[in-house]
Chains A and B, each alone.
Chain A
Amino acid sequence: DTGVSQDPRHKITKRGQNVTFRCDPISEHNRLYWYRQTLGQGPEFLTYFQNEAQLEKSRLLSDRFSAERPKGSFSTLEIQRTEQGDSAMYLCASSPEAGTDTQYFGPGTRLTVL
Chain B
Amino acid sequence: GEDVEQSLFLSVREGDSSVINCTYTDSSSTYLYWYKQEPGAGLQLLTYIFSNMDMKQDQRLTVLLNKKDKHLSLRIADTQTGDSAIYFCAESRRDNYGQNFVFGPGTRLSVLP
Interface positions of A (Cβ within 8 A of B): 4, 33, 35, 40-45, 48, 55-56, 58-59, 91, 93, 100-108
Q: How far is the CA of A33 from the CA of B101 in the complex (A)?
A: 10
- In the bound complex, residues from chain A placing their C-beta under 8 Å from that of B43 are 43, 91, 93, 105
* Size of the chain B interface, CB-CB below 8 angstroms: 25
- In the bound complex, residues from chain B placing their C-beta under 8 Å from that of A56 are 97-100
Inter-chain CB contacts under 8 Å: number: 59
The DSSP consensus for interface residues of chain A is: loop
A-B CB proximity, top 6 nearest:
A42-B103, A105-B43, A105-B42, A101-B92, A107-B42, A56-B98
Q: How far is the CA of A6 from the CA of B93 in the complex (A)?
A: 26
- In the bound complex, residues from chain B placing their C-beta under 8 Å from that of A104 are 45
Q: In the complex the two chains form, is B105's CB within 8 Å of A42's CB?
A: yes
Q: In the complex the two chains form, is A108's CB within 8 Å of B42's CB?
A: yes
Q: Contacts A101-B30, A102-B33, A103-B45 known; A45 to B101 CB distance under 8 Å?
A: yes
Q: In the complex the two chains form, is A100's CB within 8 Å of B50's CB?
A: yes
Considering the complex, give the chain B residue whose CB is closest to the CB of A56: B98
B30 → chain A, closest Cβ, in Å? 7
Considering the complex, give the chain A residue whose CB is closest to the CB of B106: A42
Query: B88 is contacted by which of A42, A107, A108 (Cβ under 8 Å)?
Result: A42
CB of B7 closer than 8 Å to a CB of A = no
